[in-house]
Amino acid sequence: MRPAAALAERLGLPVRDLDLLQQALIHSSYLHEHRDLAAGHNERLEFLGDSVVSLAISDALYRRRSDDDEGVLSARRASIVSTAGLSRLAHRLELGSYLLLGEGESQRGGRRRPVLLASAFEAVVGALYLDLGYDAASGFVTALAAPELTSDRPLGALKSPKSRLQEYTQRLSGERPQYRLVDAVGPDHDKVFRVEVAVGGLVIGVGEGHSRRIAETSAAAQAIEGLRRTSEHLGSERIDAAELASFLGAEGDDDPTDWGAPGVQSATDEPWTEFDIDVLDLAPGGHAADAVEGVAADGSAADAPIADPIRASDQ
C-alpha cells in the first residue's frame, strides 16, 4: 500500500484523489532523487494549506473563546500554527512515517524535524481542502487541535522562550538578551550550532541545535530555567519571582516541544489511534460531517482506480 492510501485509511476520511494526497507527502529531496517517479513535491500544497489551517484555527478560537481579546486570541493562534505547534499535530498523525524523503534527508532525521513535519502537515491540509472542501479540511484541523483549542495555559506560556526571556529582561532591567554563536561543528548537511545568551554581559544560558535559530531558542529556554531556579533561592530580593512567573506561565513548565526541540515528544503528542468522522462536527458553525458524507456518496470518483506515480517497490 502506498503512503497516501495508508494515510487515508488511518485518517478514516473519504479521500477521493489519492494522487493529490500522495503529492502532499513528497518532500523536494525525494523529487530531486526520483524525478521519474514523482510528478511534483508538496510546496504548492503547503502554501495553500497554510491559509486553510490559519483560518480554521482563527475561526475556532473566535467562536469558542468569547472572553479572549484580540491579543490573547492572536497569541493562542500563533502557538498552534507555529512550526512547533503544527509539528505537534503532525506527531499525533505519526505523519513522519508516511513522508517520501530523499535518502540524505531521511538519514538526517527528517521524519522528526519540526520544520519538515509542519510543512507536510500544511500540505496534507491543502490536499484535503482541494479534494473534500473547506468544511472537511477545517473540521479535520480543529478536531486534531482540540487539546490546544481548549487549553487554558496562561498567555506567557504560549510564547516562545526567546520572546518570554526578552520581555522579562527588558521589563526588569531594560536590557535585551544578546545571542552569540560560540561554535558550529560538523559537515554542512549535519552541522551543530552552539549559542550563548547573555544579559548585561553575563552569560545566562547555552544551547545547541541543528540550526542557529533552534540553538538560540534552546539557550533562551535554559536561561529561563536558570532564572526560575535562582528566583526560588533568592526570592524577590534580587529577582522579582512574581513577575518572572507571569512570563513563564503559572504552571512554570517550559516544555521543549513548544520551540521544536528535535527528538523530544511531549505528553500531549499522544499516538493517533482512530479518526472519528463524527468529530468533524466540532467545526463551529459548520456541518463538516455532513459535507464529508456527501463527498463520499456523491459519485463514483471515490472508488475509481487512481494511477500510482510512485512504484510500490520503492516504498
Single out the residue of 140, 117, 124 nearest to residue 57, CA to CA.
Answer: 140
- Asked whether residue 20 is assigned to any structural domain, the reply reads yes
- The single residue of 17, 46, 50, 105 carrying the catalytic annotation is 50
Sheet holding 178-185, edge to edge: 178-185, 192-199, 202-209
CB 105 within 8 A of CB 27: yes
> What does the alpha-carbon distance between residue 314 and residue 137 come to, in Å, rounded to a whole number?
29
Query: Which sign does the torsion angle of CA 254, 260, 264, 266 carry?
Result: positive
**String of DSSP letters for 277-311:** GGGGGGSTT--HHHHHHHHHHS-SGGGS----SS-
Q: Is 122 annotated as catalytic?
A: yes
Provide the number of structural domains found in the chain.
2
CATH (domain of 192) = 3.30.160.20
Same domain, 146 and 171: no
What predicted TM-score, i.e. pTM, was given to this entire model? Answer: 0.62
Q: Which domain holds residue 179?
A: 156-250
Domain closes at, from 221, 250, 279: 250
Tens digits of pLDDT across the chain (315 residues): 689 999 999 988 999 999 999 999 999 888 877 777 767 889 999 999 999 999 999 999 999 999 888 988 988 898 899 888 899 999 999 999 999 888 878 888 888 888 889 999 999 999 999 999 999 999 999 999 999 998 887 766 667 788 888 888 888 778 899 999 999 988 776 788 999 999 888 899 999 887 888 889 889 888 888 887 776 655 544 444 444 444 444 333 334 344 333 333 333 333 333 334 344 333 333 333 333 333 333 333 333 333 333 333 333
- Asked whether residue 211 is assigned to any structural domain, the reply reads yes
Q: Which long-range contacts (CB under 8 A, 24 or more apart) does 245-248 make?
A: 246/154, 246/156, 247/156, 247/164, 247/167, 247/168, 248/156, 248/157, 248/164, 248/224
Same domain, 20 and 160: no
- What lies within 8 Å, CB to CB, of 262 at 6+ separation is 109, 112, 113, 114, 209, 210, 214
Same domain, 228 and 168: yes
Q: Is 33 annotated as catalytic?
A: no
| Whole-number Cα distances in Å, 167 to 154, 194, 195, 253 | 15, 23, 20, 17
> What does the alpha-carbon distance between residue 26 and residue 150 come to, in Å, rounded to a whole number?
32
E strand residue ranges, the chain: 178-185, 192-199, 202-209
- The single residue of 17, 46, 105, 122 carrying the catalytic annotation is 122
- Asked whether residue 16 is assigned to any structural domain, the reply reads yes
Same domain, 96 and 21: yes
Domain closes at, from 218, 250, 282: 250
